[in-house]
Amino acid sequence: MKLYNFFKKTGFLLIILLCLFLLNNNFAKAEVKEFNVEENIIISENEIINNNVYVISEDLIVNGSIAGDLIAISNNIEVNGEISGDLIAISNNIEVNGKINGNIRSISENLFINGIVQKNISTISINLITKDTSFIGWDILSLSEKINLRGQVNGNVNIFSNNSFIDSIVEKNLKINVLNKDGSFTIESNSIINGGLFYKNFSENTIDINGQIIGETNSELKGLHDFNILPWLIKNLYLIFGAILLALLITTFVKDLDKRLEIANTKKFSNILIQGLLLIISAPILSILLMLSVIGIPLSLIIIALYIILIYLAKVIAAFVLGNIVLYKLFKIKKLKKIWPAILGIVLLWLSFSIPYFGKIISFFAIIIGSGLIINYVKNKSKNL
């Protein structure tokens, strides 16, 4: 079973931008060296930015130089120039053809390395591919479905994957953990592992070791019924990080969110449940009725799209309220930034969503509560216009 393709399945970037527009209709604009929200951003070849760069975009291309870190949320990221600091990114596709003097820390569908990374690569991805021209100065830590490792790694390689292909020079240890009973790994004859080889797999028939191993080789055979938490962890990390990302944007742009959601702690909570339930039930019915008429089909499609966005957003709003209740009401913790209650609530809720059967019930009630809170937020917002 493939890992959960979060960005491709949900169109996550589109959801972020559209939700922010509907909630506040007020994007913060700034120069690219500080914070930028645009469709496409290109840092030209002769451009030098002497600051950290924060970007939300559809496509981001770096042909010039960034003296600090690049922190980006983009559908596609391409680095052809040089980044003096770290690349921290959530993206569908990340391609590095230039030079990164710091680390890569990323969550993506595809991570391609054709250039130089002077320090570490830490990634959660569907595919990790390093080409013959790649050079990694320190270590690689990867949770990926498929890994194709070429080029040179001057440190350790520690990978958790279903399928791995190694045709590389690794100066230190190579550790491979096969996650699936149908998984496999291959070490090509041109590979040189100057440290040891340590691997865990389900069957010796699924491995092919032809390279030169300088150090010792140790293996561990897993039982076919062994529970492996890592596939579950990878899937949920995508979901949790995505939700935290959306919460960060909401708390940044919607300044009075905590005050508007205070209604969740009043006697009107029953009204929130009723309003949320009515919205969740009525929206699909309305879209189906509109589908029956040719004229109403476009409007029906819009309602369906907004409905999908609403469901995801409602869970994040419910998590925000849950985190506030836990931190402020139960533990009496005060003077925290708004993002911390959201992070706590998201972790608690999203982990509970993964509980068989019971998680579906929790998810349903979170959607109802969050939808009701959104309705109340819109009402209170309109009163102040």
Q: For 315-374, write each residue's pLDDT tens digit.
A: 888 888 888 787 777 766 666 666 778 888 888 888 888 777 788 888 888 888 888 888
**Model pLDDT, residue 138:** 96
Q: Could you tell me which residues are beta bridge partners of residue 135?
A: 116, 152
- Taking the chain, what is the end-to-end CA distance rounded to the nearest angstrom? 50
244 or 187, greater pLDDT: 187
Question: How many C-beta neighbours within 10 Å does residue 290 have?
Answer: 18
Nearest alpha-carbon partner for 217 in 188, 201, 245, 193: 193
User: Is residue 135's pLDDT more than 80?
Assistant: yes
Least confident of 68-82, 84-98, 284-298: 284-298
Q: b/e string for 34-56 if b means 16 or more Cβ within 10 A?
A: ebbbeeebbbeeeeebeebbbbb
**375 Cβ neighbours under 8 A, 6+ residues apart:** 272, 275, 276, 279
Q: In a 10 Å sphere around its CB, with 0-12 CB exposed, 13-18 middle and 19+ buried, how is residue 337 labelled? A: exposed
* Residue-level pLDDT at 38: 56
Q: What is the mean pLDDT of residues 55-83?
A: 89
pLDDT, the chain, mean: 79
Quickly list H helices, 161-228.
Answer: none
Q: Using the predicted structure, report yes or no on whether residue 25 has a pLDDT greater than 80.
A: no
Q: Considering only 25-39, 97-111, 336-350, which range has the smallest mean pLDDT?
A: 25-39
Give 286: exposed, middle or buried? Use CB within 10 Å, 0-12, 13-18, 19+.
middle
- For the four alpha carbons of 305, 306, 309 and 314, in that order, the dihedral sign comes to negative
Q: By C-alpha distance, which of 121, 211, 219 is closest to 177?
A: 219
Least confident of 31-35, 209-213, 239-243, 307-311: 31-35
CA dist., res. 320 & res. 369, Å (int): 11
CA 361 to chain centre: 24
**How far is Cα 336 from Cα 157, in angstroms, rounded to an integer?**
38
**Angle between helical axes of 358-383 and 339-353 (0-180°, round to 10):** 150
C-alpha to C-alpha distance for 85 and 129, rounded to whole angstroms: 22
d(CA 59, CA 50): 21
* DSSP bridge partners of 159: 142, 176
Distances (CA, A) of 249 to 16, 54, 88, 225, 341: 8, 12, 16, 41, 14
Report strand pairing: 135-136 vs 174-178.
Answer: unpaired
Closest CA to 376 of 252, 279, 255: 279
- Phi and psi (nearest 5°) for 367? -65, -45
Provide the pLDDT confidence category of residue 40 given band limits of 50, 70 and 90: confident
- Enter the DSSP assignment of 264: G
Closest CA to 313 of 263, 249, 383: 249
Over residues 68-94, the mean pLDDT reads: 89
Cα–Cα distance between 142 and 177 in angstroms, integer?
10
pLDDT band at 147 (very low <50, low <70, confident <90, very high): very high
At residue 225 the predicted structure's pLDDT band, cuts being 50, 70 and 90, is: low
Q: Report DSSP state, residue 181.
A: T
pLDDT at 30 over 70: no
Residue 234 pLDDT class (50, 70, 90 cuts): low
The reported pLDDT for the residue numbered 231 is: 59
Quick check: 194 pLDDT over 90? yes
pLDDT the model gives residue 15: 44
Whole-prediction pTM: 0.61
Q: Which amino acid is at 260?
A: R
